[in-house]
Each structure stands twice: as structure tokens, then as C-alpha cells.
């Protein structure tokens, strides 16, 4: 288990050079990763980088929303905190609604990894296998793992890679992403 503070997320340019992302974490920590989770700023309409061999999931964290045109098909408005899947091989164009936005990205290799992204307010469950990342999109988030309390600040994450009992207690204005990554 590892706490990942927002201040420690490494900043890097997008593959296509049109924006900046802050990497929450990746596994393994190499260029040929099985999965990567990041937070990116999209300042204006434009093309997304292609990630051949990967699947992607994106959610709006800040801003009014976006439209994605994936291989010529324009989506309905994607509002904040709606997890949206698409293929990393696809040609993707983003239209930003109402100014710059911040998004939450999960990119994973389709041959090795299965990923699910859920936006929750609270809950308790038994994490059985794989890796779980909890990402706090609110002010403060209290997470109890195997009886040990962890408080996550705004945009901090908690990485859990062993079976564990997990309970999350959040305020009414708090949302968090629960990302589960399992090997295929």
C-alpha cells in the first residue's frame, strides 16, 4: 500500500506535444508499461495522442465537459465524473466545453490488463486481487484499509496491491475514483 500525494505526480508533455499530463503512477515503471494513470490539462480543442495496443478511460475532473469524436463518431456531452472508454488506436479529437478542463486518465495494455473505473461517494468492500487505486476528487477523503486510516487530500491517491478490507467515508461533496486493474 502506498499513498501518492498530488505534489509528487511527475509532469510530462503529451506524446503529440499539444498538452501536459501529471502521472499518478504506472506499472511497471518503464516505457512499456501495462497501465498508467494520470491527470491532464486540456486547454483547447485538439487531437489526442494515439496509444497503439492500449485501451483508455477518461473522466472530466474540472470544467463543464467535453465531446470526443472517436474514429469519426462524435459522442454526446461527457459531463464531469462520467468514465468513458475508447481504444488507444483510435483517432480522437476533443472539443472542450466552457474553457480549459482537467481530466483523469487510465491507459492500459489490452493484452495484459483489465481496468474498471467507478466514481463513488463512499462504500466498503473486500479487495480480492490485482491493484486498486483510490483517487480523491474532493477536499478530504478518509480511507480505512485493514483498520489503518489514511487521509487523502485533494487529488491524492492511495495504491493498494494486496487483498484488503477497504472502507471509504466521504462528505456529501466528495467523489473519488476507484480504479481496479487486474491481469488477464
pLDDT in tens, the chain (184 residues): 999 999 999 999 888 777 789 999 999 999 899 999 999 999 899 999 999 999 999 999 999 999 999 999 999 999 999 999 999 999 999 999 998 999 999 999 999 999 999 999 989 999 999 999 999 999 889 999 999 999 999 999 999 999 999 999 866 678 999 999 999 8
- Give the closest residue to 61 by CA, choosing from 46, 40, 44: 40
For residue 99, what pLDDT is reported? 86
Helix, coil or strand: residue 7: helix
Peptide bond before 28: cis, by omega within 30 degrees of 0? Answer: yes
Strands 176-183 and 131-136, by their bridges, are antiparallel
Other beta carbons less than 10 A from residue 25's beta carbon: 19
Strands 148-152 and 84-87, by their bridges, are unpaired
Judge contact between 119 and 63, C-beta under 8 A.
no
Other beta carbons less than 10 A from residue 182's beta carbon: 15
CA dist., res. 145 & res. 19, Å (int): 35
Amino acid at each position: 500500500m502506498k499513498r501518492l500525494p498530488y505534489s509528487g505526480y511527475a509532469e510530462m508533455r503529451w506524446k503529440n506535444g499539444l498538452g501536459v499530463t501529471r502521472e499518478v503512477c504506472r506499472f511497471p515503471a518503464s516505457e512499456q508499461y501495462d497501465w498508467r494513470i494520470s491527470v491532464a490539462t486540456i486547454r483547447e480543442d485538439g487531437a489526442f495522442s494515439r496509444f497503439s495496443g492500449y485501451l483508455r478511460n477518461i473522466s472530466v475532473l474540472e470544467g463543464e465537459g467535453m465531446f470526443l469524436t472517436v474514429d469519426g463518431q462524435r459522442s454526446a456531452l461527457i459531463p464531469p465524473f462520467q468514465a468513458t472508454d475508447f481504444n488507444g488506436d483510435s483517432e480522437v479529437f476533443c472539443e472542450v466545453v466552457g474553457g480549459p478542463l482537467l481530466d483523469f486518465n487510465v491507459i492500459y495494455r489490452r493484452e495484459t490488463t483489465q481496468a474498471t473505473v467507478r466514481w463513488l461517494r463512499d462504500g466498503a468492500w473486500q479487495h480480492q486481487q490485482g491493484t486498486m487505486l483510490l483517487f480523491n476528487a474532493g477536499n478530504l477523503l478518509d480511507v480505512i484499509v485493514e483498520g489503518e486510516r489514511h487521509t487523502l487530500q485533494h487529488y491524492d491517491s492511495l495504491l493498494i496491491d494486496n487483498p484488503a478490507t477497504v472502507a471509504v467515508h466521504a462528505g456529501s461533496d466528495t467523489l473519488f475514483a476507484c480504479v481496479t486493474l487486474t491481469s488477464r
